[in-house]
Amino acid sequence: MATTTRQDEQTIIGSTITIDGEIDAEGPVMVQGRVVGKLRSAGDVTVDEGGEVEAEVEAETVAVAGRLVGQVEARNRVEITAEGRVTGDLRAPRILIADGAQYKGNIDMG
Amino acid sequence: MATRNTANSDTRTEIQAGTKVKGKVQGSEDLWVAGRVEGSVELDGALTVAPGGVVKAEVRAVRVTVAGTVVGDVTASELIELTAQARVQGDLRAPTVRVDDGAKLNGLLEVGDVSRVEVAPRPAAPKTTQPQARPEPPEAHHKTTVTGFVPNAVQDDRRRKRVVVKKRG
């Protein structure tokens, strides 16, 4: 499945924004602010540095450079960068955890 | 990764077409909606509903520009603009309201001194159509009822009154 991340088609939750509820996107989502609840995307979800997600996350690829608390399900992969802090169970065929990343939870790679 | 939104100089939140947000949206930056937002929106910034965008929410913001569809009450501390493509069902309150030729509005329009308007959060009151439930406007307030709020009639497009307050100038 090709996930072309066209910058102009990306849903962006800016750094001062808090969304308490559900997000359901056909395209990629970038979180620089705060999302609480549920976050689903047919594309990729990126939690940028400074971004905070306390939600069930479901996406093609989930990349975390910020903070994420919740269950994560990725159809392709989960990626936690060196700045990323993740608490919660991960389910994905591929999981990348960079040196310096913080993670706690169960991992299910199928 | 960590791609910043470089297309816009300042930080702006963008809800693209195909993205649905349900719940409470709060923040102090501009919000641009080409997708769908349901619930409530409280912004210390500008809300833009792009063509094709749908906002079904109570909206409080500094400026609100509608080129899509809004269902719900909108309060702006500075300005509300309805472009020719705008479809709005709900009450609008702002010191300045601009309505372009072609825009459709069903609801109460309050233009003028809305000094009582604050962007600060307020307790969510259930929407009521009873006029006495509305707060009394200040004396200098210029209140205009554009179309009577006839809940049964608003679904019928042909019976909708076309509202032209001011042509694009």
Three-state SS sequence of B17-53 = CCEEEEEEEEECCEEEECCEEEEEEEECCEEEECCCC
pLDDT at B161 exceeding the cut of 50: no
pLDDT in tens, B102-155: 999 999 999 987 555 555 454 555 555 554 544 544 444 444 445 434 333 333
- What is the pLDDT at residue A47? 98
User: For residues B85, B91, B92 and B98, what is the CA-based torsion angle, rounded to 10 degrees?
Assistant: 40
Give B89's strand partners. Answer: B71, B106
Which among B1, B2, B13 has CB closest to A17? B13
- What is the pLDDT at residue B67? 98
ipTM for this model: 0.84
pLDDT in tens, B45-68: 999 999 999 999 999 999 999 999
> What residues of B are in contact with residue A79 (Cβ under 8 Å)?
1
Mean pLDDT for chain B overall = 76
CB atoms within 10 A of CB B138: 11
- Chain B interface, best mutation among A16, A45, A60, by max B CB count within 10 A: A16
Nearest to A26 by CA among B66, B21, B49: B21
pLDDT more than 90, % of chain B: 59
Which among A13, A27, A81 has CB closest to B13? A13
- What is the pLDDT at residue B112? 86
Which among A18, A30, A46 has CB closest to B27? A18
pLDDT in tens, A2-45: 444 444 589 999 999 999 999 999 999 999 999 999 999 999 99
- What is the pLDDT at residue B3? 39
- What is the pLDDT at residue B10? 59
Chain B residues whose C-beta sits inside 8 Å of any chain A C-beta: 1-5, 7, 11-16, 18-29, 31, 35, 39
A78 — pLDDT class (breaks 50, 70, 90): very high
Token readout for A41 is: 């995307």
- What is the pLDDT at residue A80? 97
